[in-house]
Chain A
Amino acid sequence: MVEVHLDSWLREFGPRRNEKVEAISVEHLIDVLEGRHPRLRFKLRDETGALRQYVRVFVDGTDVSGTTGVGTSLEGVRTVDILHSIAGG
């Protein structure tokens, strides 16, 4: 079971700050979250399934957004943080 820490800004779309999810990959984890909270659909990923440009996913503290992305395995993983990146102005 992975503990997911979600950006507080995402709460307007339904999820709590912390959720527990059984998932084998980041893609699977987001699928589960979207199933629980349908308004989360297309907020983290676009229609192609890719993470949106300013969404950051940390797997046990490592940022995978620009590397293995949604395909990252969650085997043995304890925590996933989904945050917005430092951007804007």
Chain B
Amino acid sequence: MPRDNRVRILVGTRKGTYVVEGDAKRKNWKVGPVAHEGDEVYHVVADPRHPGDLYAAVNNMFWGPMVQRSRNWGKNWKEIATPLSPAKKDRKPEFNESEPSATVKRPLTRLWHIEPGLERQPETLYLGADPHLLFRSTDLGSSWEPIEGINNHPARKNWSPGFGGACLHTILLDPRTPRRLYIGLSAVGTFRSEDEGKSWKPTNKGVEAPFLPDKNPETGQCVHHVAADAADPDTFYRQDHGGMYVSHDRMEKWTRIGKPLGDDFGFCVASPSSAPGTAYFVRLDGRGRVTRDGHFQVQEWNDKTRKWRKLLSPRQFPGHFGVQREGISTDNLDPAGIYVGTTTGQLFVSPNAGKSWAQVPFQFPSIHSVSVANPSTG
């Protein structure tokens, strides 16, 4: 297949999917036609193992959730298999405290995240869904198997949904071994598996839960998103309801890094492959859930110097902007491109690791997710 130098920004919105194409300079962008028009699209992702293949987590308010795939960079989409919750009609509603069973009792309501497997597992996909469900496909989405280690976890009866629901929104793979997986669940926290999902260990030590009577529980933290460091697969950056954190030991313990910023609330985090030891966060007001100080801003964490840098000046994009958990992404070019989508439909791009910024000249619907299909994938 000939090399494809285009960078594609994959935008999941409250009203459909957009593929935005640009070249390696990342200055001029062409917004393609909307797909899944009218549907809530929580995540769109490219499969780097199969150039041209895109997956979308589509949530239709009338007909329910659907996994959709495109095999031509988003020109056409087709529904593929969607996993099912093990809920049955004779079960009581989920989160009934008098019900001792850990079994899932609610139908699958929303799809949150699709993660292509490692290069050595070219047919594997992972999918995270509400209510706190994880699935794996080994045939590129023709069928799904529930990962019972988490879907029937013994502590499940104590899990509650966050404001965004019972979402399993983060799935991270260790590039060294397919046996090690990490997941993030709203209002529950992060977990690690060392056996391809058979068993899971909570990994929230050091993360505060300011909204619970016990401020340092084993689980119950509301993780918003986690990004892995590109060079060190043992290092992770975490945006939690309770602040910004880093872990250098496979999430065994977390260190809060956001305190110098004051309020370190937010939803999203990304780490670029061209600058290991770097993470980008969008700091929000913890109460209003929009950017602070009346302008769009992105904070850069340098894990070597352990210092923060603010990437935008107050004059550049004044206003109050919300950014959701999948709302930031980076590409694999050097310098890194940074892409941020807002809940009011702006798509901001920096082609040079935050030195300059521009807005893609298109008003999107409220943006749920931004991800990048890199040139090297084509």
Residues of chain A having any CB pair with chain B under 8 Å: 9-10, 13, 39, 42-44, 46-50, 52, 54-55, 84-85, 87-88
Contacts and interface: CB of A to CB of B under 8 A. Distances in A.
Identify whether the interface residues of B are mostly helix, strand, loop, or mixed: loop
Contacts, number: 43
Contacts of B38: 88
A10 B38 CA distance: 14
Nearest to A52: B64
A50 B107 CA distance: 10
When A and B form their complex, which 10 residue pairs have the shortest distance between CB atoms, in order from nearest? A46-B107, A43-B63, A48-B89, A84-B62, A49-B89, A47-B107, A54-B62, A47-B84, A48-B87, A47-B85
Given A39-B79, A42-B82, A42-B84, A48 B91 contact: yes
Contacts of B86: 47
B61 A48 contact: no
Given A42-B84, A46-B87, A50-B89, 19 more contacts: A9-B63, A13-B63, A42-B82, A44-B63, A46-B107, A47-B86, A47-B87, A47-B107, A48-B89, A48-B91, A48-B107, A49-B89, A52-B62, A52-B63, A54-B61, A55-B62, A55-B63, A88-B38, A88-B61
A55 to B, nearest CB: 7
Interface string B76-95: 00010010111111010000
Nearest to B91: A48
B108 interface: yes
A85 B184 CA distance: 34
Nearest to B83: A47
13 contacts: A9-B63, A10-B63, A44-B63, A46-B64, A46-B107, A47-B88, A48-B89, A50-B89, A52-B64, A87-B61, A87-B62, A88-B38, A88-B61
A13 B68 CA distance: 13
Nearest to B82: A42
B61 A43 contact: no
Contacts of A10: 63
A44 B107 CA distance: 13
A5 B82 CA distance: 26
B59 to A, nearest CB: 12
Contacts of A85: 62
